[in-house]
């Protein structure tokens, strides 16, 4: 199937004139790409598909080796962001969503996120958001924008599916309305180097993709998940039924004491950082400590699963990073979704747009 798509593309590209057969070939290519996307989705049993659009990712990107990239490369950064998306997908890979959106086909939700660079003010490392269609509240395309004005420095992990750069992991629970939930999967105490002195790009990417999935209080589906509109998301299904998780704006608000030992986020002896008394332990808290990595916790996943109405009995609350199926499949998925996205944008100009959040 992939070979056939490629050959159609090549024959179209080498044709001098737009003949009838060329148009037929082009139409076949589009449907072929769409079919390919379906096949890929089924292969990984995905109920959440995140298409990252890197079309403009090179524009404004720091040069390879720039301090913003922690000395890494733009290609490494792209790989880190793809890994972040795959972790979110993995959480819901074996579940299905019952949300009543016209685009929810067979319980699978698909979101396309444009990834780009721009100067961001203050301490903002990146922003993530989505617009939505006022007719039924569903997603329009999302955005993920990285700070490139020199005030943010990232650790771009060349091996983003493992966290051997850190020596310790804090894994702890908190009680939410009497329901114990994991709220902390923080790696800390990194060896000297960019992982210790910079902000972990994988963590920031997971956080911002959370926003692009609708994690902010003005997104209709999120707002509806707060029963009583009293500042907590109410979990109504699965192992954490009856949990109530506090939030404000686009972030959870619960904090946790730093792990004991004086080496959080790493041994401050001689360093310029100091361990705070408490911190936001989960990914969707409002800030990240330099020198730490956060994995998705049960709290982050439960909130997203709740407002996107996934079957919470089949959610993976401890998703592990997995490699993307193949770069070719990812590219095909991206182009298929991009075509649809642009068409929808032309048709609908009452789209509301919101950007929110900072890591």
For Ca ion, the binding residues (CB under 5 A) are 120, 147, 149, 151, 157, 159, 162, 226-228, 230, 232, 234
Nearest to 320 by CA among 165, 198, 143, 161: 161
Residue nearest to Zn ion (CB): 357
As a whole number of angstroms, the distance between CA 18 and CA 187 comes to: 56
- In angstroms, give the least distance from the CB of 233 to Ca ion: 6
State the burial class of residue 46 (Cβ atoms within 10 Å of its Cβ: 0-12, 13-18, 19+).
buried
Nearer to Ca ion, 162 or 349 (CB): 162
Nearer to Ca ion, 351 or 355 (CB): 355
Element (H, E) at 38: helix 20-43
Binding mask 33-72 for Zn ion (x = CB under 5 A): ----------------------------------------
357 touches Zn ion (CB under 5 A): yes
- In angstroms, give the least distance from the CB of 5 to Zn ion: 37
Nearest to 313 by CA among 241, 240, 238: 238
* Residue 305 and residue 236 in contact, taking contact as beta carbons nearer than 8 Å: no
Q: In this structure, what DSSP letter does residue 352 have?
A: B
Partner interacting with residue 147 (select from Zn ion, Ca ion, none; CB below 5-8 Å by kind): Ca ion
142 touches Zn ion (CB under 5 A): no
Q: In this structure, what DSSP letter does residue 97 have?
A: B
- In angstroms, give the least distance from the CB of 126 to Zn ion: 9
> Which residues, including other chains, have CB under 8 Å from residue 7's CB and lie 6 or more apart?
none
Nearer to Zn ion, 319 or 357 (CB): 357
Nearer to Zn ion, 281 or 357 (CB): 357
- In angstroms, give the least distance from the CB of 358 to Zn ion: 5
> Token pair of 110, please?
């698909």
Nearest to 205 by CA among 327, 115, 90, 318: 115
- In angstroms, give the least distance from the CB of 79 to Ca ion: 11
Residues near Zn ion, by CB under 5 A: 357
């Amino acid at each position: 199937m992939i070979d056939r798509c490629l050959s159609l593309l090549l024959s179209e590209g080498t044709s001098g004139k737009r003949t009838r057969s060329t148009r037929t070939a082009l139409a076949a290519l589009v449907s072929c790409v769409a079919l390919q996307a379906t096949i890929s989705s089924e292969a990984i049993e995905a109920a959440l598909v995140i298409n990252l659009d890197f079309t403009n990712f090179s524009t404004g990107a720091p040069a390879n080796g720039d301090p913003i990239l922690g000395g890494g490369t733009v290609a490494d950064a792209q790989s880190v962001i793809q890994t972040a998306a795959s972790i979110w997908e993995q959480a819901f890979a074996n579940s299905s969503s019952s949300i009543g959106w016209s685009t929810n086909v067979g319980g699978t939700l698909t979101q396309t996120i444009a990834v780009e660079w721009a100067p961001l003010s203050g301490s903002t490392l990146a922003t993530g958001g989505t617009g939505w269609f006022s007719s039924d509240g569903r997603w329009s395309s999302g955005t993920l924008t990285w700070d490139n004005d020199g005030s943010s420095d990232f650790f771009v992990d060349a091996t983003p599916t493992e966290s051997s750069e850190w020596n310790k992991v804090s894994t702890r629970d908190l009680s939410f309305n009497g329901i114990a939930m994991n709220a902390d999967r923080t790696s800390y105490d990194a060896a000297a180097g960019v992982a210790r002195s910079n902000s972990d790009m994988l963590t920031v990417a997971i956080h911002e993709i959370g926003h692009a999935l609708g994690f902010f209080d003005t997104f209709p589906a999120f707002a509806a998940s707060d029963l009583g509109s009293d500042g907590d998301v109410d979990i109504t299904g699965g192992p954490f039924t009856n949990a109530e998780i506090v939030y404000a704006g686009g972030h959870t608000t619960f904090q946790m004491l730093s792990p004991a030992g004086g080496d959080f986020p790493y041994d401050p002896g001689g360093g310029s950082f100091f361990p705070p008394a408490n911190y936001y332990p989960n990914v969707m808290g409002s800030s990240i400590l330099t020198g730490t990595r956060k994995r998705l916790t049960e709290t982050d996943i439960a909130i997203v699963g709740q407002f996107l109405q996934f079957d919470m009995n089949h959610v993976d609350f401890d998703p592990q990073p997995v490699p993307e199926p193949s770069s070719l499949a990812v590219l095909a998925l991206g182009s298929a979704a991009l075509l649809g996205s642009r068409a929808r944008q032309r048709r609908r100009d009452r789209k509301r747009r919101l950007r929110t959040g900072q890591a």
